[in-house]
A and B are shown apart, each in its own frame.
Chain A
Amino acid sequence: MVEMLSPLQPVWRPGSHGNFADGVGVVLSETQPGSIVQAAAWPGSERAVIAAIKTATGLSLPDGAGGGVATEAKAAFGFAPGRFLIVADDEGLADTLVQAIPISDGTVTDLSHGRTAIRIAGVKAEWVLQKFFAVDFSLPALPVGSGISTNHHDIFAQIQRTGPDRFDLYVFRSFARSFWKMLCHGCDEVGYEVR
């Protein structure tokens, strides 16, 4: 695999920052998945697309709006009616899904070069995200695995909770550096580590 370039590179400062004297509240990282793919079902074909995602990735999407699942190497969640984001460490997922989802059931869009994946993890992750997005991030409202689409200053963000204290954010690559800088400012007060 060729070395991946990051839009965050010019502002990437590994180490502890902000008010970390009493401990680090969150750890920020860029997960750099090899594949970020959107699948959209035509009305009535939602279940067929969910079944195809399972065949192609082994990920079984649970019933319900925003339902999702995350393993260490792959993740998927619904972010709108009949629309799903599927992410994998390996490259080539879009091709696999194109094979699995016939055009009569839905469409597949490769967003691997269009999104940047940012992970925020730690006891203060909910607290920090709550400052940016007008969404309930509590565990009962957003269980592990499930995802949402929302926005920040009119810029879209898709967010999946991949652990009790861990969230993966997918933002437009062209806005990723600006979003990252803002996120770092938001993390200052709780102390953060870039890793």
Chain B
Amino acid sequence: MLIPCPYCGPRDVSEFTYQGDAGRVRPDPASTDQAAWNAYVYDRTNPAGDHHEYWQHSGGCRSHLKVTRNTLSHRILDVAFARPSTAHASSRRQGPRP
């Protein structure tokens, strides 16, 4: 599986670290709503299809990325910096999307 890093270009999945479901919404840290915290920590939809998830390019530029991956085909549909970046973005090293 290749993930096209917005900075580095397409790289092998072994350079990346999975950081979980990007669809979770953390309750207010002051909240004592146990059901909300339980859902945040444990509940996953586990879709068979497109999934938004965080990855870190830990073996490269170390950017945190938000990736849309199809869990059936491993096709990567979209990759962006998890936090919008004002740094130089790559335009030249993006190969064709797999």
Contact = CB atoms under 8 A, between A and B. Distances in A.
The answer to whether A and B assemble together is yes
Interface of A: 41, 43-44, 46, 63-67, 78-83, 134-136, 141-142, 148-151, 154, 156
A130 to B, nearest CB: 13
A123 to B, nearest CB: 24
Interface of B: 6-12, 14-15, 59-63, 81, 85-93, 95
A135 B11 contact: yes
B9 A149 contact: no
B60 A149 contact: yes
A109 to B, nearest CB: 14
Given A134-B11, A134-B12, A156 B59 contact: yes
Contact of B86 (A43, A135, A141): A43
B91 A46 contact: no
Contacts of A78: 88
Contacts of A43: 85-87
Nearest to A156: B59
A65 B88 contact: yes
Contact of A134 (B14, B81, B85): B14
A46 B87 contact: yes
Contacts, number: 75
B15 A134 contact: yes
29 contacts: A43-B86, A43-B87, A44-B86, A46-B86, A63-B88, A64-B90, A65-B9, A65-B87, A65-B88, A65-B90, A66-B90, A67-B88, A80-B60, A81-B61, A81-B63, A81-B85, A82-B87, A134-B12, A136-B9, A136-B95, A141-B93, A141-B95, A142-B93, A148-B8, A149-B62, A150-B15, A150-B60, A151-B15, A156-B59
Main DSSP-derived SS at the A contact region: loop
A64 B9 CA distance: 12
Contact of A81 (B11, B59, B88): B88
A146 B86 CA distance: 20
Nearest to B83: A43
Nearest to B93: A141
A154 B59 contact: yes
Given A134-B12, A134-B15, A151 B87 contact: no
Nearest to B94: A65
A148 B9 CA distance: 10
B9 A141 contact: yes
